Amino acid sequence: MLTRNKLAFATGLVFLASSAHAGYTIKLTDKDTITFGGYIQGDIRYVDGDLSSPLTNDDFWIGHVAADEQSNVNFNANSSRFNTKYVHGDVTGFIEMDFYGGGGNEKLTNSRHPRLRHAFIKYKNWTVGQTWSTFMNTSALAESADFAGPLNASAFIRQDQIRYTNGGLQIAIENPESYGGETGDAGYGDQDSVPDVVGKYTFKGDWGNVAVSAVAKQLNTVGGESETGVGYGVSGRINSFGKDDIRFAFHGGNTGRYVGAAAATDLVGEEVEETTSIMVSYRHFWTETWRSNVYYGSTETEESDRERTHIAINIFNNITKELSYGLEVGNFEAVDLDADSDYVQFSVKYVL
């Protein structure tokens, strides 16, 4: 049996080296398989204007920006990633890493540290570990060169959780983090003793999908008080004409850190933040290989009085099923800072 396993693994490696399909699965035994996947991506990005995105070195826009006049070009391959999935009967283990972990410099080696994205175990209806929050509908994210498009108005968060799934229903307890403070930027997660509770129901059909989600949080303020926060969302991906589709998301209430990639915090001083976020995207296929996306995202907060918008249009072409390239132009605006920046981004991606 051990010999057969080794032979199957060796045969799988030959297939891995020669196959051009996305994701490579090796059958170890009748119950065991291991799959390797991921992609390699190179980006060239030019930004000009009054804003910078300090947490990402201008690789993509997040909701947290700074008024900082700039005109620069940046080359990077940080979004490249690799993942491994191991399946043994009803048990699945998955781990994925990319290279946004920092380190390196642009003078000599430009090295980057690997960063954990996903690490979870699935058994029948249960998922345990770090992955996308149950609050998210990943199919609603816009296709873009700027990673994930209008993050300023999208639910976008990975964290540790315990999730139960039954058909379209998902219920989870997830890692708590009372994000916010007097300045709206500090975190007080070490004070949290009650996990966030998240629920979602997804309606699916040939027409696409629509997900309704909610999150309830116990938040701990700077003054040591406890507050309750409740956020909600409706998001989806609807098929249009031909291969076209519409993607949308509306989020409101006390969504805090769950929506906008730091566009809003859970707390501002002693107050719970109220946020309204809208995202819409349309994807059109010109031919079998050429397609374009236009998208818009806007987030407004009450307590911190922030307003962030992101609008862009792009075009992509697949040279092969695995190899594609694209160009995107867009604008990111922080109305509350009276500043905005334009950007142009060119990307090449090879999906393993």
CA distance 333 to 342: 9
pLDDT of 70 over the 90 cut: no
Token digits of residue 76: 């990077």
CA distance 175 to 169: 20
180-181 β-sheet, strand order: 180-181, 267-268, 271-272
List pLDDT tens digits, range 192-220: 889 999 999 999 999 999 999 999 999 98
What's the confidence (pLDDT) of residue 18?
38
pTM, entire model: 0.90
Q: Which residue is listed with tokens 């890692």? A: 175
**Cβ–Cβ under 8 Å, residues 335 and 321:** no
Concatenate the DSSP letters of all residues of 199-266 into one string.
EEEEEEETTEEEEEEEEEEEEE-TTS-EEEEEEEEEEEEEE-STT-EEEEEEEEES-GGGBSSSSS-S
What's the confidence (pLDDT) of residue 150?
96
List pLDDT tens digits, range 9-51: 444 443 433 333 358 999 999 899 999 999 999 999 999 999 9
pLDDT of 60 over the 90 cut: no
pLDDT of 1 over the 90 cut: no
The DSSP code for 286 is S
Question: What band does 269 get if pLDDT is binned at 50, 70 and 90?
Answer: confident
CA distance 130 to 128: 7
List pLDDT tens digits, range 325-337: 999 999 999 999 9
Token digits of residue 10: 């060796």
Question: What band does 52 get if pLDDT is binned at 50, 70 and 90?
Answer: confident
The DSSP code for 179 is B
Q: How many residues does the chain have?
A: 352
What's the confidence (pLDDT) of residue 192?
86
- Out of 2.30.30, 1.10.10, 2.40.160, 3.40.50, which CATH number does the structure's domain 53-75+131-351 have? 2.40.160
CA distance 2 to 109: 42
